[in-house]
Amino acid sequence: GENVEQHPSTLSVQEGDSAVIKCTYSDSASNYFPWYKQELGKRPQLIIDIRSNVGEKKDQRIAVTLNKTAKHFSLHITETQPEDSAVYFCAASRNTDKLIFGTGTRLQVFP
């Protein structure tokens, strides 16, 4: 079945450094790739998304890149801050089908 692999499972960075999280998807028909940030006990919150007709998207300190040929997409956070600490999930879907989530990355930003 469809699956999404996500790496690394944990990531520790110093405040101000960059963080990169990578995902690989299996369903070549996937056309929507969101990233969610989830704090402990709270709902997943959409932080950025990209559609298959776009290769890169940026929103302030956050950017996402998509390589459809390799079926890879990545989240880049620059100038990390302690409040960026959370669990980040990538996901993939086709149109309004269910989201297939990755296994999550716990990001810790140390002051």
Partner 1 sequence: EAEVAQSPRYKITEKSQAVAFWCDPISGHATLYWYRQILGQGPELLVQFQDESVVDDSQLPKDRFSAERLKGVDSTLKIQPAELGDSAMYLCASTPAEGRINEQFFGPGTRLTVL
Binding residues (CB under 8 A) for partner 1: these are 31-32, 34, 41-46, 49, 51, 89, 91, 93, 95-99, 101-104
Burial tier of 63 (Cβ tally within 10 Å: 0-12, 13-18, 19+): middle
Which residue number, 27 or 49, has a Cβ lying nearer to partner 1? 49
Q: How far is the CB of 73 from partner 1 (least distance, A)?
A: 14
Which tokens go with 27? 């369903």
Kindly list the distances between the CA atom of residue 20 and the CA atoms of 9, 27, 39, 107, 108, in Å, as whole numbers in the listed order.
12, 23, 18, 10, 12
Which residue number, 34 or 80, has a Cβ lying nearer to partner 1? 34
Q: How far is the CB of 1 from partner 1 (least distance, A)?
A: 9
